[in-house]
Amino acid sequence: MTDQPQPQALRAELLAVALEAAQRAGTFLRDGRPEDLGVAATKSSAVDVVTEMDIASEKLITDFLADRRPGDGVLGEEGASTEGTTGVQWVIDPIDGTVNYLYGRPDWSVSIAARKDGETVVGVVGAPMRGETYRAVLGEGAYVNDRPARTRTAPPFEQALVGTGFGYIAARRAHQAEIARQLIPRVRDIRRGGSAAIDLCDVAVGRLDAYYERGLNPWDFAAGELIAREAGALTGGRPGQAPSGELTIAAPPGLFEQLQGFLDEQGAWHD
């Protein structure tokens, strides 16, 4: 006998904790957004902004996790970083889509993933202005609210609706714009939603055929990547590689390989 919970029981517990944390933070952010919300600080560039609400949301989530799961590690966008002793690490984006939130646009989210011994086992993305929460447990499928989430069947490449995003550094953006310029004439269209976590969940529920972006941080994609994968998408980076800051791609089989090949050829993985 051991005191360690079995993997399935642990994942169920982590899912319940993540859902409650995302629900609390989402309600706080939706109901508490100040009318005169401004920029509290900037990070990698003048357009990479943090609001007081990003900081407050991260504190709300990390305080909640410390209460429910003391001993777990935490990695958060706004600086939370603890090692932990349990092998569980929480990867948190307290507002993914901060620029949307700043401008009062609806597509922002709270993204919370749990990793066990380095593997993402639970992902929750709350999108309060959509009234939707996306979730997945490794090997158990993905859900939007209480409905199963499934990707679309892969369309021909030229009929794909592809989401993407752009980083905050001007030189990187210029190259990303060049990749998008090459892609647009070859597909149905592209979308730039402003929250990578929601983009990945949109692949999971069939509101996008595919999504790719260079330059994501772990908190932007950890939860959404698992949700897209559990909904039937393939995910990766350059051929043979896992999704990462270098490149993250999600699409159903058939489209994934074509998009990955195109992006690799175009050099979407470098600045």
Q: Does 220 bind ligand IPD (CB under 6 A)?
A: yes
Cα torsion at 230, 254, 194, 16 (round to 10°)? Answer: 0
**Cβ-closest residue to ligand IPD?**
165
Smallest distance from the beta carbon of 194 to ligand IPD, in angstroms?
5
Radius of gyration of the chain (CA): 18
Question: Whole-angstrom Cα distance, residue 53 to residue 104?
Answer: 13
User: Using CB under 6 A, which of the segments 13-21, 96-104, 132-140, 247-255 binds ligand IPD?
Assistant: 96-104
Question: Whole-angstrom Cα distance, residue 255 to residue 51?
Answer: 37
Q: Which amino acid is at 253?
A: P
Contact 269, 263 (CB under 8 A): yes
Contact 92, 76 (CB under 8 A): yes
Among 76, 97, 123, 237, binds ligand IPD (CB under 6 A): 97
Q: Does 96 bind ligand IPD (CB under 6 A)?
A: yes
Q: Does 128 bind ligand IPD (CB under 6 A)?
A: no
Q: Does 201 bind ligand IPD (CB under 6 A)?
A: no
User: In which element (H, E) is residue 135 found?
Assistant: strand 132-137
Considering only residues 133 through 172, tell me which ones interact with ligand IPD, judged by CB under 6 A: 165-167
Closer CB to ligand IPD, 193 or 252, in the complex:
193
Smallest distance from the beta carbon of 77 to ligand IPD, in angstroms?
6
Give the binding site for ligand IPD (CB under 6 A): 77, 93, 96-98, 165-167, 194-196, 213, 215-216, 220
